[in-house]
Structure 1
Amino acid sequence: MENLCPRFENAMQLLSKRWVGLILFELLNGAKRFSEMEADLPISGRLLSERLKLLEKEEIIVRNIYSEFPVRIEYSLTDKGRALEPVIQEIQHWANDWVTPEDLEEKKA
């Protein structure tokens, strides 16, 4: 029981970093190139690169390099990352049930 709180806190700190949840959500659909994620997410390339490096360091994603011409680099979820799928889906269900369009408008104001 002693280890539960620090582990939970560590997990929440990682998952609550801005854009991490959306990056993981994107990768649940399969491997993606950096440019695809950059186009799909409203995030700067620099910040996307930082978050991808963080997730790679945490072994949640893997960077695959294909020796083609030009070189192709894709990011995909590891088993550790795929294990987050039910968590992300439950957050999506919760958001669908409880986050209203009015809530979204208040955030923009």
Structure 2
Amino acid sequence: MRYVIFPIGIISLLALIVFEVPAWPQEKSVTPYGDFCPQCGKYGTCQTIMTGYDSEKALKDYYRKKGLAVEIEKTGKQFIRARIYDNKGMVDTIIFDRGTGRVRSIY
């Protein structure tokens, strides 16, 4: 019995190794986790909190380069919440930190 179970077990393990099984979707995210505004530095080095106009312009410029449109949903003292659209519809909802320049997806 051992001589039958052992080869079947080895073949099963080899089948798991040979066939590629993705652990997450292969599509690329619209907003990479923790991306940043080009007007600020990579490490949250904005000199002052960006004005509402500057932060909206920075977001729209950033996503325009990717071929996407931005709709500002809510503007607060520190954060801006926005929806990102492509030709087919909404693809992401993001929060933009006006103090550090960080862009985070919350969708």
Give the TM-score band, short-chain normalised.
under 0.3
Report the TM-score, using the length of structure 2 for normalisation: 0.27
Report the TM-score, using the length of structure 1 for normalisation: 0.27
Decide which structure has greater strand share.
2
Return the structure number with greater relative CO, CA threshold 8 A, min gap 6: 2
